[in-house]
Amino acid sequence: MKIGELATTTGTSVRLLRYYEEQGLLESHRLDSGHRRYADDAPVVVRRIRALLDAGLPTRVIRDLQPCIRQDGTVAVCKLETLQEHLRGLDDRIAALSETRTSLAGLISATRAIEPAGAA
């Protein structure tokens, strides 16, 4: 499969496909002409990459996970701790953002209590 076909099939830009390849997430073979050719399973690989990116995982972690990804797209238990670490990191960021939101909402409330709406 050529890169343009893979892009169309997966709804992913050619530029992103090249980036995935640079990051070691996607493999291609070069023809004598220099054009990339991808294996038949490349659309499945790209969709998995997109799903893992959507789950908040950076490309370096996805590269590390790839040997442990099963055919159904789940990750083998050998990398469960890695996934749990990233989930804890997300939980920590959500908690920090919630605290920040509470502080900002308090500032807005205090400002509204002092100045009537529309006065600036």
Q: What's the average model confidence in pLDDT over 42-58?
A: 93
The CA-based angle 42-3-21, given to 5 degrees, is 65
Q: How many CA atoms lie within 13 A of 15 on its CB side?
A: 0
Mean pLDDT of the chain: 92
Mean pLDDT within 58-69: 92
pTM: 0.76
Q: Does residue 43 sit in helix, strand or coil?
A: helix
65: its two tokens: 């996970």
Report whether pLDDT(46) > 60.
yes
| pLDDT surpassing 80 at residue 1 | yes
Query: Left (φ > 0), alpha (ψ -120 to 50) or beta: where does 79 sit?
Result: alpha
